[in-house]
Amino acid sequence: MTLTYKTIGATVCGAALLLAATTLRAQTAEVFTATAAIKGAGGGSASAPVTITVDRKMSQGEADRLVAAFKSGGAAALRKALGGVPPTGNISIGTGAATPTRFTLERVTGEGRLLTILTDKPLLFVGASLPGAKSQAGYDFGVIDIEVDAKGNGSGTLAPAAKIKMNRDAFVVEDYGIEAVRLTGVKKTR
């Protein structure tokens, strides 16, 4: 009988800890909405709603390990290193399926904070169907930068398909698209 009560007690205690961790995670998650807008060279434009969920932000140490992987083996090494990283949240464009994010780093700015978010696969190839479109090879990531104030309002950029390079200690993003995708009306909703 004692073994049964201990087993039941351990199970209940474990379930309570799991529930507390899940509740804490839900309380710390942030959700941002925005409008992705692009203007083409021919005067055309397009826009779509974007939802970004941040479940966790990386520590500087975790981010440094990914930077070191990139420095040692380029984009291929970074992709491999990101494969073992639990998602930091997700992003969805329009009514499309949510894509997990694998890198979310927060930095304090004069206006509030800057969130740099990375997916380990491209989100969308803007302009890929146009005549003479460039090859999609090497554009293996999605990169989102949003700067928000203390109230969670701001703006940002989205590179839905990007190549990542390194210039000294800074990442440089080369977007597949000809024009930048702007994130306007960024608002923290949760």
Per residue in 138-169, pLDDT (tens digit) is: 889 999 999 999 999 999 999 999 998 888 76
What total number of domains does the chain contain?
1
In a domain, 13, yes or no: no
In a domain, 5, yes or no: no
In a domain, 109, yes or no: yes
In a domain, 48, yes or no: yes
Q: Which residues contact 111 (CB under 8 A, 6 or more apart)?
A: 147, 149, 154
The Cα–Cα gap between 85 and 83 comes to 6
Does residue 186 surpass a pLDDT of 60? yes
The larger pLDDT score, comparing residue 105 to residue 23, is at 105
Task: Give the pLDDT score at 174.
Answer: 87
In a domain, 92, yes or no: yes
The larger pLDDT score, comparing residue 176 to residue 42, is at 176
In a domain, 94, yes or no: yes
In a domain, 167, yes or no: yes
pLDDT in tens, 16-31: 334 444 444 444 799 9
In a domain, 2, yes or no: no
Residue with tokens 């710390």: 28
Domain with 77, as residue range(s), is: 29-188
Number of Cβ within a 10 Å radius of residue 113: 16
Task: Give the pLDDT score at 136.
Answer: 77
